Amino acid sequence: MTRFLLDTSTISAVVWKVPDPGVLARLTEHGGECATCAPVWHELQFGVRRLPRGKRRTALEGFLEEVVRATLPIFPYDERAAEWHGEERARLERSGRKPPFVDGQIAAIAVTCGIPLITANPADFKSFKGLVVENWVGGR
């Protein structure tokens, strides 16, 4: 059963020069209960493909295929998420806030799936109504 949606910053913390021990511990504890989503998959792919060809890029491509894709379900941005996202964007815009589109997509998937978003950047998601956010970086 999926209980946690991992965002880009959490997945990236695994491949930092010094991987984050808090994220590693929580993934060890909850690995089979985690998923990610299509907008995060896009951000990861984009980040890796921007790198020059070389050892680092090859290692990250391997990580994405052999670890992320092989072990995490990748949830789609579906009709329910799109409806929630549209309503939430309109609400936020009326209050003068315009969070990045992709953050809204990620939030929408977490909310409509009824699971918390695990992010190292909780401030990026604080405006989204009904979104539960956790930060595993540093064991927080």
Q: And the tokens for 108?
A: 């929408």
> What's the Cα-to-Cα distance from 48 to each of 8, 13, 59, 64, 105, rounded to whole Å?
12, 14, 10, 9, 21
Query: Hey, what domains does the chain have and what are their CATH numbers?
Result: 4-139 (3.40.50.1010)
- d(CA 107, CA 131) in angstroms, rounded, equals 7
36-84 pLDDT per residue, tens: 999 999 999 999 999 999 999 999 999 999 999 999 999 999 999 999 9
Q: State the chain's mean pLDDT as an integer.
A: 97
Q: How confident is the model at residue 140 (pLDDT cuts 50, 70, 90)?
A: low
